[in-house]
Chains A and B, each alone.
Chain A
Amino acid sequence: MAKRTGIEVSIAIAEAARQANVDVVSAYPITPQTHIVEHLAQLVADGDLDAEYITVESEHTAMSACVGASAAGARVFTSTSSQGLALMNEIVYLASSLRTPVIMALANRALSGPISIWNDHSDVMNERDTGWICIFANNGQEAYDLTLMAFRIGEDRRVMLPVMVNFDGFILTHVIEPIHIFEDQEIADFIPPYEPLCVLDTDNPITVGPVGVPDVYTEAKKQQEMAIRESRPVIEEVFEEFARRYGRRYRPVETYRADDAEIVLLAQGSVIEAAEVAVDHLRDQGKKVGTVELRLWRPFPFDDLREVLCSTSIKQVVVLDRCISFGGPPGPVLSEVRSALYLEKDKPMVVGVVAGLGGRDISLEEYVEMFEIGEECLRTGKDPGEEPELVKIVGLRE
Chain B
Amino acid sequence: MSVVVDSIKENPVEEFLRTDRLPHVWCTGCGIGTTVNCFARAVKECGIPLDELAIVSGIGCTGRVAGYLKLDSFHTTHGRPIAFATGLHLANPKLKVVVYSGDGDLVGIGGNHFIHAARRNLDITVILLNNFTYAMTGGQVTPTAPLDSIETTTPYGVFEENFNLPHLAASCGAVYVARWTAYHVMQVKKAMVEALNKKGFSFIEILSPCPTIYLRRNRLGSAIDELKYYKEHSVIQHGADTREVGITVRRPEKIIVGKFVDIEKPDYLTAMNKHLSEVLGDKYVRWGE
On chain A, the residues within 8 Å of B111 by CB distance are: 57
Q: State the interface size on chain A (CB cutoff 8 A).
A: 18
**Once the chains bind, are B75 and A45 in contact (CB under 8 Å)?**
no
Count of residues in B whose CB is under 8 Å from the partner chain: 21
Counting CB contacts under 8 A, is B154 at the interface?
yes
21 example contacts (A-B, Cβ-Cβ < 8 A) are as follows A29-B134, A29-B138, A29-B140, A29-B153, A30-B78, A31-B137, A38-B138, A38-B152, A38-B153, A41-B152, A42-B152, A45-B154, A53-B153, A55-B141, A55-B154, A57-B108, A58-B79, A58-B109, A83-B59, A115-B59, A115-B75
Cβ-defined contact, A34 with B77, below 8 A: no
**How distant is the Cα of A41 from the Cα of B152 in the complex, in angstroms?**
7
Let me know if A112 and B152 touch, CB within 8 A.
no
Interfacial chain A residues near B140, Cβ < 8 Å: 29, 34, 37-38, 55
Residues of B within 8 A of A (CB): 59, 75, 77-79, 108-109, 111, 134, 136-138, 140-141, 143, 152-156, 160
Chain A residues near B77: list those with CB within 8 A: 83, 112
Contacts of A38 in B (CB 8 A): 138, 140, 152-153
When distances are taken between beta carbons in the complex, the residues of chain B under 8 Å from A58 are: 79, 108-109
Whether A28 is near chain B, meaning CB under 8 Å from some CB there, is: yes
Closest CB in chain B relative to A86 CB, distance in Å: 9
**Are A55 and B109 within 8 A (Cβ)?**
no
Return A52 CB to nearest CB of chain B, in Å.
13
Chain A residue at minimal CB-CB distance from B145? A55
A41 touches B138 (CB 8 A): no
Q: Which residues of A contact B137 (CB under 8 A)?
A: 29-31, 34
Residues of B within 8 A of A31 (CB): 136-137
- Smallest Cβ-Cβ distance to A53: which chain B residue: B153
Q: Return the contact of A41 from the options B109, B143, B155 (Cβ within 8 A).
A: B155
* Minimal Cβ-Cβ distance residue in A for B109: A58
Which residues of B have CB within 8 Å of A46? 155
Neighbouring B residues of A55 by C-beta, 8 Å: 140-141, 153-154, 160
B153 lies within 8 A of A37 (CB): yes
For the complex, what is the distance from the CA of A41 to the CA of B138, rounded to whole Å? 14
- Give A31 to B137 CA distance when docked, in angstroms: 6
Known: A34-B137, A34-B138, A57-B143. A41 touches B78 (CB 8 A): no
A55 to B152, CA, bound (A): 11
Supply 19 further A-B pairs (C-beta < 8 A) apart from A38-B153, A41-B152, A112-B77: A28-B109, A29-B134, A29-B138, A29-B140, A29-B153, A30-B137, A31-B137, A34-B152, A37-B153, A38-B140, A41-B153, A45-B155, A55-B141, A55-B153, A55-B154, A57-B109, A57-B111, A57-B143, A115-B75
- A45/B156 in contact, CB under 8 A: yes
Closest A residue, CB atoms, query B107: A57
User: Smallest distance from the beta carbon of B129 to chain A beta carbons, Å?
Assistant: 18
CA of A83 to CA of B134, assembled, Å: 16
Cα–Cα, bound, A42→B155 (Å): 6
* Residue numbers in B under 8 Å from A115 (CB-CB): 59, 75
Bound Cα distance A73, B15 (Å): 60
**A14 to B33 alpha-carbon distance, docked (Å):** 36
Residue of A nearest to B157 (CB): A45
Distance A340 CA – B59 CA, assembled complex (angstroms): 40
Question: Which B residues are CB-close (under 8 A) to A34?
Answer: 137-138, 140, 152
The interface residues of chain A lying within 8 Å CB-to-CB of B152 are 34, 38, 41-42
CA distance A336 to B134 in the complex (A): 39
Chain A contacts for B153, CB-based, 8 A = 29, 37-38, 41, 53, 55
Q: How distant is the Cα of A57 from the Cα of B79 in the complex, in angstroms?
A: 10
In the complex the two chains form, what is the Cα distance from A30 to B140 in whole Å? 10
In whole Å, how far is A103's beta carbon from the nearest beta carbon of chain B?
A: 19
Please name all residues of chain B whose beta carbon is closer than 8 Å to the beta carbon of A28 when the two chains form the complex. 109
Docked-complex contact A41 and B154, CB < 8 angstroms: yes
CB distance from A131 to the nearest CB of B (A): 25
Most chain B CB within a 10 A radius of its CB, from A37, A45, A46, A57: A57
A46 to B153, CA, bound (A): 12
> In the assembled complex, which residues on chain A have CB atoms less than 8 Å from the CB atom of B136?
31
Closest-CB distance, B268 to chain A (whole angstroms): 25
Could you tell me the distance between the alpha carbons of A38 and B109 in the complex, rounded to whole angstroms? 18
Minimum CB–CB distance from B35 to chain A (whole Å) comes to 22
Complex contacts, B59 vs chain A, CB 8 Å: 83, 115
Q: Give A45 Cβ to nearest chain B Cβ, in Å.
A: 5
Residues of A within 8 A of B160 (CB): 55
Please measure, in the bound complex, the distance between the C-alpha atom of A83 and the C-alpha atom of B59, giving whole angstroms. Answer: 11
A20 CB, min distance to chain B CBs, angstroms: 20
Interface residues of A in 292-349 (CB under 8 A from B): none
* Residue in B77, B79, B137, B160 whose Cβ sees the most chain A Cβ within 10 Å: B137
List the B residue with the shortest CB-CB distance to A86. Answer: B77
Most B Cβ at <10 Å: residue of A28, A42, A46 = A28
Residues of A close to B143: CB separation below 8 A: 57
By beta carbon, the residue of chain A nearest B111 is A57
Return chain A residues, CB-CB under 8 Å to B154.
Answer: 41, 45, 55
Nearest Cβ on chain B to A385's Cβ, whole angstroms: 36
CB contacts (< 8 Å) of A57 on chain B: these are: 108-109, 111, 143
Cβ of B114 to closest chain A Cβ, rounded Å: 12
6 A-B pairs closest in CB distance: A41-B153, A38-B152, A58-B109, A29-B137, A29-B140, A45-B155
B273 to chain A, nearest CB (A): 34
User: In the complex, what's the smallest C-beta–C-beta distance from B270 to chain A, in angstroms?
Assistant: 32
Most buried by A among B59, B77, B109, B156: B109
**Chain A's nearest CB lies how many Å from the CB of B258?**
28
Chain B nearest CB from A57 CB (Å) reads 5
